[in-house]
Every structure is written in structure tokens, then in C-alpha cells.
Amino acid sequence: MLLFFRPSWQVGIAQRHDELFSNSKSDRRDGMISVFVYGTLLVGESNHGVVSPFMKHAEPGVIHGRLYDVGPYPALVRTEDNHQVVGEWLDVTEEGLIAMDELEMYYGPGHPNNEYERVWVKDVHNQREGWVYCWRSPRGLPEIQGSSWKAHRQSNGL
């Protein structure tokens, strides 16, 4: 008997389909799902390989919020002020969103074990909109000065 193992992000794709696409807003762009990334999922960063097999396109973007230093990665807290975070919009498949959900430890809306929440955002400069992973509060961590995780890493020799 042959056994085939699937990566854990593939398990339950059908079960999660309704949850993934239950948002009343359209989260599809040319058949892909739009996600704003600002840290290790950026093109060229350490976790980009998690999403790159499922990605069709990346383009620069900016949203409102502030970044906090978790150590090897940042966390975003959305804000009502005009502070901006620089990142990228990725167009990914459903499997790509599931892989990112696993990386970000997102189990569903309001789940008590979520590390991040996945919320809907709009770009500051254009009509682009989609999902972003964020925290509700900074959890006592230091704010990253500036708007860019990449610039923060470079200026601190990380």
C-alpha cells in the first residue's frame, strides 16, 4: 500500500473554502486573491518561498498602520492616523492564501489561537484592496521607525 502525504497547508482546502471566500467584498483579482505583505513574505525576504509557488504578480503598495519589531519579523497594527506602511500587493491562488494563513497562524475570523488577524484593507494611493495580516495592538513591542521593514533591516544590519 502506498501512502501519500500532503503538506499541512493542503489539508482541508475544501473545508476552508467557504470560510476563505465568505467576505462580502470581492477578494478576487483576475481569479487571484490580493494580499498586502510588509515583512518576511516580501519578494526577496526569508518567507517569500512560502507564497512564491502560488503567486502570479507582485506590485508595490502602501497602507495605513504602524510596524512593530517582533525580532526576526514585523507585526502590523492598523491605525486611523496617516502613518503609512510600505509593502507589496501579491496576487495569489487559494492555496497561496492557505499557505500564508498557516505561516501567520491564522485559523479563522476571531479564532482564539490566531497569532494574526486577516482583515480587509485599501491601498493609500490607488483602488487596490485585499487582505492583510495584522495584530490588534502592539503587545508592548517597540515601534519600527519609518514605514518599511526592508529599510529597518538594512539600517540595523539585520
Q: Respond yes or no: is residue 19 known to be catalytic.
A: no
List 104, 115, 117, 129, catalytic entry: 104
Distance CA 99, CA 84 (A): 26
Query: By C-alpha distance, which of 101, 133, 98, 141 is closest to 117?
Result: 133
Torsion sign (Cα): 78, 66, 75, 56: positive
Query: By C-alpha distance, which of 115, 56, 117 is closest to 88?
Result: 56
Strands 129-134 and 84-92: unpaired
Catalytic residue list: 104
